[in-house]
Structures are given as structure tokens and as C-alpha cells.
Amino acid sequence: MSLGPITAKRAIKRAAGWAAVLTSPWVSRPDRPRACILMYHRVAALDFVDPRLDDWNVPPPVFAEHVAALAEFAECVPLAQLPARLRASGPGERPLVCITFDDGYANFVDAALPVLSRHRVPAACFVVTSCVASEEPMPFDRWAQRQRQPAAEPAAPYTKRGRDVFLASTCAMCHAVSGTTASARKAPDLTHLASRSTLAAGTLPNKPENLARWIEDPQRYKPGVNMPPHALPQQDAQALVAWLGTLQ
Ligand code: HEC
């Protein structure tokens, strides 16, 4: 079975969570009060985000369940009061919990705050002040939005030729470029190759001459890499590099 990166990340997080719970009786002193700081980002409906890419979103009904359970089984305290409460709290008391939100998305006000108020649960919200009152998406979201766009149709015959070389040669057996018929998942997705600063995970600066060298003989730059050398006719190779250079 092959796991996507998000699925694998979730599986690792879940395993780490269970390991922490199972080992806690041995690694933490039972006579010490304990606290947990929960870090949320987004509380948004699933049609707003792509759950395959965005694994830090919690849908509003799930968030409401979290808060209801915390209000019943834990003592939710304001973040600023946590150190004093930890010192004052004795063994056997309900676990202390702080709820925090990073980034200050508008859905903190729309979706999270009503639930928190209903249960009288305090929370700290860390706001990115440079984005207050801005209609622009946050820098990371802008980047993620761009990454989800398919490759643009080649604008010139030369770059169109480059794309045709890519689709007709072995490249499409391993790589995907969304918006084309290349959809293989054996190697990095090249849809936004030109927006990366390096090639092959930092091996070479992403420049046309390095791209050409990489395609010709990747083993020379990364011994053992699972990409074969390609001896393409020179004009095809140049057109291919030109098209790859347009994949912003
Ligand atoms: C047998 C599979 C395979 C084929 C065929 C193949 N590649 Fe690759 N390619 C890879 C792998 C694996 C990597 C990842 C190298 C690494 O970073 O370790 C890679 C990396 C790359 C990179 C760097 C990507 C990045 O994110 O930095 C480019 C560009 C690239 N290949 C272009 C091509 C082109 C163009 C062709 C066709 C002429 C091609 N590849 C054919 C497997 C393949």
C-alpha cells in the first residue's frame, strides 16, 4: 500500500500521540499537575479547503465536539494564567488545557468564537498583525492556492514543442504536470517546477543550464537517483527546458 504524504503524516502523528499517551505513566511524575496546550489554525467547512492538502483544518462540527468534551473533562484556563495555575494545582485535579489559535483567520470569529463563548471556554488567538483588514490571503495560503493551479497552456510554439517532448518521452512515466496527461506519481510533481529555487531537493540551483544538465545525466549530480539519463536531440532538449522554465 502506498501512502500519500498527508496520509503518512497523519499516521505518524497518530502513532506519536498514542506513544505519548501510553508512555506517560513512566515519563511524567504522577504527583505533578499536567497541562496541555492545543494549537488550532483553521475552523472551516470542508468545502472551503482541500482536506488532502490542508491537514490542519478542523471542521466546525468537530471543533464543537472538541470544546464540549474539553469543557466537561478538563479545566480550560487562559494561556497567561497557565504557569500560576500549574503551580497552584494539586494531584488528582482535572487536567489543565489551554486552547490557542495561530494566524487569526476570520473563521476564528465566525466559527470558533461562538462555540467557545457557549461553553465559556477561554482561548488565545495569535493574530498576524500585518494581515489585519487585508483582503489578500495569508502568504502561505496564496502560495498553496498557486500550487493547486494547473500548468498554463504553452503560449508559444517553441514551449508547446517542449511540452510535447515531455509528454512523448519517458518523463510522463514518472512525473505529473497537472493540466496535461502526465499524472505519474513516482517522482516529484513538476507543475510548479519553475517556482522552486533548487532542483532535486537542493542538489542544483534551478537555472536552465542546470535543468538541461540534470535531464541529460541526473546520476552525475545525485548518484543513485531513480531517474535515467536522457540523450534527447539538442533542439528537443532546449524546447523541453524552455517549457519547464514556464511552469511557475
Ligand atoms: C524512472 C523515473 C523517472 C523518469 C523517467 C524521469 N524522472 Fe525526473 N526525477 C525522477 C526522480 C525519482 C526525481 C527525484 C530526484 C531527487 O530529488 O532525488 C526526479 C527529479 C526530476 C527533476 C527535479 C524535480 C524537483 O522537484 O526538483 C526534474 C526537473 C526532472 N526530474 C525532469 C525530468 C524530465 C524532463 C524527464 C524526461 C526527460 C524525467 N525527469 C524523467 C524520476 C524520473
Q: How far apart are CA 41 and CA 11, in angstroms?
A: 20
165 Cα: distance to centroid of ligand 1 (angstroms): 14
pLDDT value for 1: 39
Q: Determine the pLDDT at residue 191.
A: 96
% of the chain at pLDDT higher than 90: 66
Q: Is the pTM of this model over 0.95?
A: no
Q: Confirm if 201 and 192 have CB atoms less than 8 A apart.
A: no
pLDDT 10s digits, 131-146: 888 888 888 888 878 8
Does residue 219 line the site of ligand 1, with CB under 6 A?
no
Query: Which pLDDT belongs to residue 20?
Result: 74
Q: How confident is the model at residue 50 (pLDDT cuts 50, 70, 90)?
A: low
Residue ID of nearest Cα to ligand 1 atom 13 = 187
pLDDT score recorded for residue 24: 65
Cβ 111 under 6 angstroms from ligand 1: no
Mean pLDDT confidence for 37-66? 83
Beta-strand runs (E) in the chain = 35-40, 75-76, 96-103, 124-127, 198-199, 204-205
What pLDDT is recorded for position 2?
46
Indicate the Cα dihedral angle 125, 130, 136, 139, nearest 10°: -80
Protein residue with its CA nearest to atom 6 in ligand 1: 171
Report which protein residue has its CA nearest ligand 1's atom 24. 200
| Mean predicted lDDT score pLDDT of the chain | 89
Q: Is 68 in the pocket of ligand 1 (CB under 6 A)?
A: no
Q: Is the CB of 230 under 6 A from ligand 1?
A: yes
Residue-wise pLDDT tens digits, 69-114: 999 999 999 999 999 998 887 777 888 999 999 988 889 999 999 9
Which structural domains are found in the chain, ordered by start? Answer: 31-144 (3.20.20.370), 149-244 (2.60.40.420)
Model confidence over 206-239: pLDDT tens digits? 999 999 999 999 999 999 999 999 999 999 999 9
517546477: which residue's cell?
193
pLDDT digits over 178-199, tens only? 999 999 999 999 999 999 999 9
CA of 44 to the centre of ligand 1 (A): 36
- At 12 the pLDDT is 80
Q: How many other C-beta atoms are found inside a 10 Å radius of the C-beta of residue 18?
A: 10
Distance between CA atoms of 137 and 216, rounded to whole angstroms?
39
Which of 14-28, 106-120, 196-210 shows the lowest mean pLDDT across its residues?
Answer: 14-28
Q: Is 227 in the pocket of ligand 1 (CB under 6 A)?
A: yes
Single-letter code of the amino acid located at 145: Q
